[in-house]
Amino acid sequence: MSFFLAFLAFSALIILHEAGHFVAAKWTGMRVERFFLFFPPKLFSFRRGETEYGVGSIPLGGFVKITGMNPDEELPPEVAAQGYYHQPVWKRIVVIGAGPAVNLFIAFFLLFFLAFGIQEPSQNVDQVTSGSPAAGKLMPGDRILSVDGVSGDQEKIADQINSHSCAVKDGAEPKDGCFATEPATVVVDRNGQQETLRITPVYDAEVERNRLGFAFGIEDLNPSVGEAAGISLDYMWFVTSTTVTTLSQIWQAEERKELSGVAGSYEVTRQAIDIGWRQALTLIALISLSLAVINLFPFLPLDGGHIFWSLVEKVRGKPVPFAVMERAGLIGFALVIGLFLIGLSNDIDRLTGEGFNLR
């Protein structure tokens, strides 16, 4: 079932992206010849009005074919006025930008919805390890207010506990289970009452830290509408900046290993669906956002390439020769194919090796 749901998720992202182009083209008065899910050869199609709707056999994307995408093409008089290059620059930018805009909206909407169920680390004790220094002193539900007068988030509390070290000779490693030379002063809120406890940390060689032997819990964030929107936008900016940084450093082997192709994205989505609906929706939002970001790179045949040359035309005050765009398109096409092959190679290595290990 997860395979089928992952297929539906990918198909929906493709259809909605292309639907953005389609609706914007119709709205601006352009003539749409084809609206296809996946690439040719064609599996089946049907015609409604001037547009042929169909499904291709190569599941790597989709396309909308608008009349007159080649400025040198001679169009019949009855459809010339609806041709792409017969429209003003602003209409062309709206039509091309509508696809990535839909992906951005999908990502924002899903992340905004998910933000209302988000949880954050709390200062409350969730579990106490039996036989640890905290056993018999800390209790589940206690809220850690400070350690040695230091308050803050979980990391600050943990670092302060870790500052209590065992007595060891210079350069020697502490032994597993050794107790710190000084106890930590832990102030907690227990059932509305403040209590001060003295607990001596013990060194845990497995994590190479001094610990008391308890685990913090998590709590619901319960954001407002504005805060949920902020969380969504912050995550979108993080993913966008990370994507751009990774692609700008693609010449580095470690960065190339981070890329994934269609097969990898599909498999990770399938695993996320198996784990839970929140993980699956988060991943779908991430993929939708990544599609928007990559599509906006200023290289033909990507959407960003069409927008770039439209802006160049606007600045020049006259059309850019199609031969120039064709030569630039070859460079962009080579980059797109290169990214596709790198992602595919990484996917094959993962699928035949340790897998994607989303769990």
pLDDT at 255 > cutoff 60: no
Pick the last residue of a domain from 169, 201, 220: 220
Using one digit for the tens of pLDDT, what is the confidence trace for 200-236?
999 998 889 999 999 998 888 889 999 999 999 999 9
For 92-122, the pLDDT digits (tens) are 999 999 999 999 999 999 999 999 988 888 8
Same domain for 208 and 242, yes or no, is no
8 A C-beta contact, residue 126 and residue 140: yes
- 51: helix, strand or coil: strand
Of the three residues 187, 220, 253, the one that is the final residue of a domain is 220
Give me the half-sphere count of Cα atoms (radius 13 Å) on the Cβ side of residue 136.
6
Q: Of 157, 190, 220, which residue constitutes the final position of a domain?
A: 220
Decide if 210 is inside a domain. yes
Residue holding tokens 């539900």? 141
How large is the average pLDDT for residues 80-95?
94
What letter represents residue 242's amino acid? T
Q: How many domains does the chain have?
A: 2
- CB of 116 within 8 A of CB of 50? no
188 and 233 fall within a common domain: no
Q: What was the pLDDT predicted at 209?
A: 92
Give the domain range for residue 163: 119-220
Query: Is residue 214 a contact partner of residue 127, using CB atoms and an 8 Å limit?
Result: yes
- CA dihedral angle for residue 265, residue 268, residue 270, residue 272, rounded to 10 degrees: -130
pLDDT at 351: 52
Q: Residue 264: what residue type?
A: G
pTM for this structure? 0.77
Pair (108, 231) in one structural domain: yes
Alpha carbons 267 and 332: distance in angstroms, whole number: 27
List C-alpha distances in Å: 230 to 113, 188, 190. Answer: 12, 32, 33
354: pLDDT strictly greater than 90: no
Q: CA 136, CA 115: separation in Å to the nearest integer?
A: 37
**Are 112 and 230 in a shared domain?**
yes
CATH number for the domain spanning 146: value is 2.30.42.10
**pLDDT, tens only, 146-199:** 999 999 888 999 999 999 989 887 777 888 899 999 999 999 999 999 999 999
pLDDT at residue number 258: 59
Closest by CA position to 64, among listed 94, 90, 33? 33
208 and 143 belong to one structural domain: yes
